[in-house]
Amino acid sequence: MKNTNHSLFDKYEMIKDLGTGSSGSVTLVRHISMDQERALKKVPKASAFAESALSEARLLKSLEHPSIPRIFDFEEDDAFYYIVEEYIDGETLDSFLLHQQLISPGLFFNICEQLCNVFIYLHTQISTPIIYRDLKPEHIIVCHNKLKLIDFGVSAYVIQDGNNFNHYGNIEFSAPECFTEDTITPAADIYSLGQLLQYILTFTPDSFSHKFQHIIQKATTSDASLRYVTVAELYQEIQEIQKLTGQTHLIHKIAVLGSHRGCGSTHVAVSLTCELNILGYHGIYIDSAKSVLCHGNHDGLQIFKQKNGYYYYKSFQGIPDYSDGIQFNIPKDAIQIYDLGTDVCNEKIYDMDLVLYVCNGSFWHLNDIYRNHSILKKMTASLSVICNMCSRQDASAIAALLNCSVYHFPYDSDMFKSSVQKETLIQKLLELKGGASLSDTLKGYLRKSILHHS
């Protein structure tokens, strides 16, 4: 092996250790000529897990799907196998859900779509289906609002007799036949999907989760012959519920402006971006105010990861407001949130589907609040006012001053974390342009968060 203190095989620069387990160690490396970060697994040949690691690498090498890690390279020396694969910087699904505590229907449907899509892919391989067999939250990584299915160590191809491999699984999510001598088929993965969806539904409102119980029951019946025949059939029933719930929107560009510096407009813009992504929409923060966020700082910490011009952190995705001379393709389905700072005369306002005017109850800024609101009313008919960092009494005073309805943005210590109050605000703002109707639960929260001038 060609190895120095800082490089491997004259191709990879070692950056830092990511962890060590029973099967070996994982190191973050950089491909020197490609300038790309990758994960390098170092597996001892004498390890009991060496054959499993090789099998997983061979399997992943044959697959190409956005929810499956890519294998880039393989090396070996006398003592170790070296497997170079895609570096996935995220958190496990269980950690993500515990961090959110309560997720929206939109995010649930987004997760369902990605999970079902990858299993449809695995089960419909041209040569022979692949059974994953070990699905659980710890084997799903949430990375920039995308899911990655990891740990294919016990996955297997279905061969003609259907049962020519060892039985593996986990007690909580694996099908009963994984622990018996019964034949294992793709129905085992359908059982695991049902159990996983049941787990995810515990993080949704009860009024929502009960709609899926007939799907869960059919997917997780102990008799494999009575389950859904394919994952596509299961997903079709989920889509039927999604159609009834409603997930469409007509807003694509949102401007967020502050009445004065320090009113929290950037905080609101970032919060809205994160909440949109958590709700299952695609929100992109665009830093037109040259805030410190998209330059990598938050409370003095370097927290943002940068890739292909985007800045990422948890459910946040953002870009600087590139000049007209720089071509930057933004997905057509994305909702763009422009942070315009306090520039109420910015010409971009004319192109916005919705303009959010952020103010607070500071007495010494009342003139600014009134004057800038008057300017914006002449520039756009899609203007909504958000009162931030103030009491409900102060928000009522702002509503009286401006003679309009005011949305009360809840006290928010973590702009990257979801909350029911922020979710209701997002849902209502989208509804103004033809978005989904609100559930009775969300309407109850909303009545407490919107203040009307009377």
The answer to whether residues 233 and 202 belong to one domain is yes
Q: Are 37 and 57 in contact (CB under 8 A)?
A: no
CATH number of residue 200's parent domain: 1.10.510.10
Considering only CA atoms, which of 289, 362, 276 is closest in space to residue 321? Answer: 289
At 434, the pLDDT band (50, 70, 90 cuts) reads very low
Q: What are the binding residues for ATP?
A: 41
* DSSP assignments along 349-394, one per residue: GGG-SEEEEEE---GGGHHHHHHHHHHHHHH-S-EEEEE-SS-HHH
Confidence of residue 344 (pLDDT cuts 50, 70, 90): confident
> How many domains does one find in the chain?
3
Let me know if residue 1 belongs to a domain: no
Instruction: Note the pTM of the prediction, 2 decimals.
Output: 0.61
Compute CA distances 90 → 192, 273, 303, 310, 404, whole Å.
22, 18, 13, 16, 42
Do residue 140 and residue 58 come from a single domain?
no
Model confidence at 58: pLDDT above 80:
yes
More confident residue, 157 or 122: 122
Vertex 320 angle, CA 319 and 325, to 5°: 115
Answer yes or no: do 312 and 427 share one domain: yes
Residues 263 and 329 reside in one and the same domain: yes
CATH number, position 72: 3.30.200.20
Q: How far apart are CA 61 and CA 53, in angstroms?
A: 12
Identify whether 143 is part of a domain.
yes
Residue 2: inside a domain, yes or no?
no
Look at 407 and 188; give whichever has higher pLDDT. 188
Which domain range does residue 33 map to? 7-86
Query: Cβ–Cβ contacts within 10 Å for residue 141, how many?
Result: 21
Is 67's pLDDT higher than 70? yes
Helix (H, G, I), strand (E, B) or coil at 341: coil
- pLDDT score recorded for residue 112: 95
pLDDT value for 441: 37
Q: Is 123 in the same domain as 229?
A: yes
Length of the chain: 454
Based on the domain organization, do 326 and 392 belong to the same domain? Answer: yes
**Final residue before a domain boundary, out of 214, 245, 276:** 245
pLDDT in tens, 210-252: 889 999 999 999 999 999 999 999 999 999 998 877 555 567 8
Q: Which two tokens stand for residue 317?
A: 């995705």
Mean pLDDT of the chain: 81
Q: Are residues 438 and 408 in the same domain?
A: yes
Question: What local confidence, expressed as pLDDT, does residue 220 receive?
Answer: 96
Q: Are residues 109 and 66 in the same domain?
A: no
Known binding-site residues equal: 41
Which has the closest alpha carbon to 384: 355, 413, 412, 415? 355
Q: What digits encode the pLDDT tens for the residues 7-32? A: 788 899 999 988 887 677 889 999 99
* Separation of alpha carbons 133 and 141, rounded Å: 17
Which CATH number do you get for residue 440?
Answer: 3.40.50.300
Token pair in block for residue 356: 């959010």
For the segment 321-341, the average pLDDT, to the nearest whole number, is 77
Same domain, 311 and 387: yes
The token pair that represents 113 in the structure block: 């779509």
Same domain, 446 and 327: yes
Other CB atoms within 10 Å distance of the CB of residue 77:
12
pLDDT tens-digit map of 362-390: 777 888 888 888 888 888 778 888 888 77
Statement to judge: residues 55 and 191 lie in one domain: no
326 plus 366 within the same structural domain: yes
* Residue 440 pLDDT: 40
Report the range of poorest mean pLDDT among 87-101, 128-142, 261-275, 319-333.
319-333
Q: Which of 86, 104, 138 is the last residue of a domain?
A: 86
For residue 295, what pLDDT band results from cuts at 50, 70 and 90? low
pLDDT tens, residue by residue, 99-126: 876 787 888 999 999 999 999 999 998 6
pLDDT of residue 438: 35
**pLDDT of 341 higher than 60:** yes
Structural domain ending residue among the three candidates 36, 65, 86: 86
Per-residue pLDDT at 146 exceeds 70: yes
pLDDT score for 4: 52
